[in-house]
């Protein structure tokens, strides 16, 4: 059987759902960020698969995926900096306990 | 000298020995790649063993000693004896270690050290696979080494190991940036990231049209950053013996230690091979066969790294980071500016 | 051949993805994440996007994952401890995620996507470079500014007050 667009899209859907599950159920802030990375990757698989199988104008899908990767890097940087700051103030990175908007 | 080139020998062996037995279908290609991988692996293990012996000899002569002299001619079999000893040793795992992480760290380090050789051109036609993203592939795959060092540091459950692992990661991430930027200059000139193309672009002037003559600054930046990447003195903070006992591999013994140790020397050979390919003209050179030129240049670079190690003192952590971000990075950008100017303005005259 | 490789990769991606969101040792989660992202890079190679695959390894494994391991090392005690990482919404979350996955799965298979006959060239890293410098130069510059802002922002946020 040939592997086509639908296989990749289905795989990406399940990966995205796994990331969603992680975000909904995880307590540790870093684990939540990891689940977020899974979701970013699911989206990227979609973009590259569309570019390969359904794209008409060359490489814009891959370039979009490149931008997503760059933004994911920026998101991880700032997110982890915030996690470190939370840890410094609360001595814990349990996202359920961080419920004050203002100290 | 055509007769001494190795590429046609492999071609001949493939056509007359392999294809009749396994065919040239998917299975045949699989078998051929497997054999190729095994031979590259064996060759590099041999080179790494020789480098360990050479390092001891160089250090000894710099310190006015003889080094190993007993086993074999000038102690050349010393490393073999050491390896046999290490294999026989008891494999000790600390009681509180994270066993899975502790086990996988040296394996990943070892495998990734060899994975870079897929795209290194050992000679004219002697390349496992000429990927069109070759040089970027090497930079990407070597980042796994950092992961493995952090795994070793974390898995050992030892504060010295953890400190060593964190230091190595911080250092490698910082020095990767100027290293990649210094290589970028060459990619700009060549217009390709394939290692074979980079070598071919330097073949003018009877094989002496080397990139180092046009980008000396880039070469210096690369050598400094590569020294840091390979965790060699003066940048060997991850395993600074005097402060961290031995750094990330403090808890390792026997075969696992041997894997880290061997991977370190393979990594040194890797950065030398990249320097050769990217800046020193690769296998280009007159009269001698191409693989011989590659070996001479690469071993020369290895010798340079060894001399660094035994003649320079170690940096402090804060100096190390400051040097990467405040000196090397701006210089790397300057190098790119220079390459752009040279390409657009001076080379047209 | 390609089908076998795809199913192998898909299995690894799903399995390691589930491991990322269910394992109880945060460091093991991070390693599984690296494994998962590395396999996604393999998937990109299957989709003839070599440049993207290499960038994926370089950025995710070489930067994001290392940053995460750093954060883990700075915020957790030493190795070997397994702690409860999930909250009490496991069942609801699992149910929602499953419904979501099946919904998308159904939607994808019910839609007809126009296939293209365009064949991607092997030298697409060169083409990507050219596109980034011509057609997509504005987003490219905006991304650069964004990355710079994120860099400065992260330093300001995580810096200790007072020194």
Higher model confidence: residue B70 or residue C10?
C10
Under an 8 A CB cutoff, do C113 and A34 touch? no
Q: Which of B100, B136, B154 is nearest residue C54 as measured by Cβ atoms?
A: B136
Q: Is the peptide bond before B234 cis (omega within 30 degrees of 0)?
A: yes
Chain C partners within 8 Å of B132 (Cβ): 50, 122-123, 125-126
Give me the number of domains chain B comprises. 1
Q: What is the pLDDT of residue B219?
A: 92
Length reported for chain B = 349
Has residue B199 got a pLDDT over 80?
A: yes
Domain count of chain C? 2
Shared domain check, C70 and C3: yes
Average pLDDT over every residue of B331-344: 90
Does a structural domain hold residue C67?
yes
Tell how far CA C57 is from the center of its chain.
10
Q: What is the pLDDT of residues C2-36, one digit of tens each?
A: 788 899 999 999 999 999 988 888 888 899 999 99
- Predicted confidence (pLDDT) at residue C77 exceeds the cutoff of 80: no
Partner C contacted by A97 (CB < 8 A): no
Q: Same domain, yes or no, for C70 and C18?
A: yes
Q: Which residue has the higher pLDDT, B182 or B132?
A: B182
CATH at C10 = 1.20.120.1200
Residue B331 has pLDDT above 70, yes or no: yes
pLDDT at C79: 45
Q: Which of C28, C59, C80 is the last residue of a domain?
A: C80
Distance (Å) from the alpha carbon of B155 to chain C's nearest alpha carbon: 6
Tens-digit pLDDT profile for residues C80-104: 455 666 677 788 888 888 999 899 8
ipTM of the complex as predicted: 0.88
Does C150 score more than 50 pLDDT? yes
Tell me chain B's radius of gyration from C-alpha atoms: 21
- pLDDT band with cut points at 50, 70 and 90 for residue A19: very high
DSSP string, B12-77: HHIIIIIHHHH-SSHHHHHHHHHHHHHHHHHHHHHHHHHHHHHHHHHHHHHTT-----SSSGGGTT
Whole-angstrom distance, CA of residue A30 vs CA of residue A87: 11
DSSP-derived 3-state class of residue C129:
helix
Is C69 domain-assigned?
yes
Residue C89 lies in a domain: no
Nearest Cα of chain A lies from the Cα of C12 at a distance, in angstroms, of 11
- For B96, phi then psi, to 5°, come to -95, 10
Interatomic CA distance for residues A40 and A56, integer angstroms: 24
Q: Is residue B48 part of a domain?
A: no
Chain C residues inside the 8 Å CB shell of A56: 116, 118
Q: Which helix (H) or strand (E) holds B267?
A: helix B254-279
Name the DSSP class of B141. H
Query: B67 lies in a domain?
Result: no
Chains C and B touch (3+ CB pairs under 8 A): yes
Closest chain C residue by Cα to residue A49 = C47
In a domain, C18, yes or no: yes
* Domain definitions of chain A by residue range: 5-90
Percentage with pLDDT > 90 across chain B = 11
Give whole-number Cα distances, B78 to B43, B57, B62, B264, in Å: 18, 11, 19, 18
Q: How far is B194 from chain C (nearest CA, A)?
A: 10
Chain pair B-C, CB pairs under 8 angstroms: 80
Which of B187, B276, B189, B266 shows the shortest CA–CA distance to B229?
B266
Q: Using alpha carbons, list the distances in angstroms from residue A12 to A46, B104, B217, C7.
A: 6, 28, 45, 13
Domain that holds residue B330: 97-348
Domain-located, residue C75: yes
CATH topology classification for A5-90: Helix Hairpins (1.10.287)
Q: What is the CA radius of gyration of chain A?
A: 17
Segment B314-322 shows an average pLDDT of 81
Does the residue B324 lie in any domain?
yes
Range(s) of the domain holding residue C130: 121-163
Taking the Cβ of residue A89 and every Cβ of chain C, the question of whether any pair is shorter than 8 Å is answered with: no
Residues paired with residue B123 on neighbouring β-strands, in sequence order: B126
B131 touches chain C (CB under 8 A): yes
């Amino acid at each position: 059987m040939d592997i086509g667009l639908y296989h990749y899209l289905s795989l990406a859907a399940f990966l995205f759902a796994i990331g969603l599950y992680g975000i909904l159920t995880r307590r540790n802030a870093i684990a939540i960020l990891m689940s977020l990375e899974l979701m970013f990757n699911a989206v990227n698989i979609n973009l590259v698969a569309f570019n390969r199988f359904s794209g008409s104008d060359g490489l814009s899908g891959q370039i979009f995926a490149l931008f997503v990767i760059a933004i994911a890097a920026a998101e991880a940087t700032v997110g982890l900096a915030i996690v470190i700051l939370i840890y410094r103030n609360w001595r814990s990175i349990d996202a359920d306990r961080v419920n004050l908007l203002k100290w | 000298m055509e007769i001494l080139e190795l590429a046609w020998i492999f071609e001949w062996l493939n056509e007359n020995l392999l294809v009749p037995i396994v065919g040239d279908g998917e299975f045949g290609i699989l078998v051929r790649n497997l054999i190729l991988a095994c031979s590259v692996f064996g060759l590099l293990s041999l080179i790494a063993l020789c480098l360990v012996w050479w390092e001891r000899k160089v250090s000894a002569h710099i310190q006015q000693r003889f080094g190993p002299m007993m086993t074999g001619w000038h102690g050349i079999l010393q490393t073999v004896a050491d390896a046999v000893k290490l294999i026989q040793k008891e494999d000790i795992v600390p009681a509180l270690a994270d066993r899975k992480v502790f086990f996988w760290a040296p394996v990943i380090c070892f495998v990734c050290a060899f994975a870079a050789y897929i795209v290194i051109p050992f000679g004219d036609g002697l390349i496992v696979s000429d990927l069109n993203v070759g040089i970027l592939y090497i930079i990407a795959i070597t980042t796994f080494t950092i992961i493995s060092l952090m795994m070793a540091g974390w898995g050992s459950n030892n504060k010295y190991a953890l400190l060593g692992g964190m230091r190595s990661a911080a250092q490698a991430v910082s020095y990767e940036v100027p290293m990649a930027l210094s290589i970028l200059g060459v990619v700009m000139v060549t217009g390709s990231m394939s290692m074979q193309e980079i070598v071919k672009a330097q073949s003018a002037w009877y094989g002496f049209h080397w990139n180092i003559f046009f980008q000396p600054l880039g070469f210096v930046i690369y050598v400094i950053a590569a020294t840091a990447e390979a965790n060699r003195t003066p940048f060997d903070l991850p395993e600074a013996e005097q402060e961290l006992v031995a750094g990330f591999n403090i808890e390792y013994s026997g075969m696992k230690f041997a894997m880290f140790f061997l991977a370190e020397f393979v990594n040194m050979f890797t950065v030398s091979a990249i320097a050769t390919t990217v800046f020193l003209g690769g296998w280009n050179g007159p009269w001698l066969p191409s693989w011989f030129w590659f070996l001479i240049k690469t071993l020369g670079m290895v010798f340079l790294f060894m001399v660094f190690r035994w003649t320079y003192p170690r940096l402090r952590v804060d100096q190390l980071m400051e040097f990467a971000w405040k000196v090397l990075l701006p210089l790397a950008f300057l190098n790119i500016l220079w390459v752009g100017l040279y390409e657009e303005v001076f080379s047209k005259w | 051949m390609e089908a076998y490789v795809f199913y192998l990769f898909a299995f690894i991606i799903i399995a390691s993805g589930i491991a990322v969101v269910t394992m109880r040792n945060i460091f093991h989660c991070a390693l599984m994440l690296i494994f998962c992202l590395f396999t996604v890079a393999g998937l990109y190679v299957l989709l003839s996007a070599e440049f993207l695959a290499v960038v994926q390894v370089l950025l995710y494994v070489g930067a994001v994952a290392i940053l995460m391991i750093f954060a883990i090392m700075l915020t957790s005690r030493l190795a070997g401890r397994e702690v409860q990482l999930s909250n009490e919404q496991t069942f609801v979350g699992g149910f929602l995620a499953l419904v979501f996955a099946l919904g998308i799965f159904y939607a994808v298979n019910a839609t007809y996507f126009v296939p293209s006959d365009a064949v991607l060239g092997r030298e697409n890293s060169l083409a990507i470079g050219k596109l980034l410098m011509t057609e997509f130069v504005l987003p490219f510059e905006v991304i650069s500014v964004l990355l710079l802002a994120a860099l400065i922002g992260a330093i300001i946020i995580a810096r200790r007050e007072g020194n």
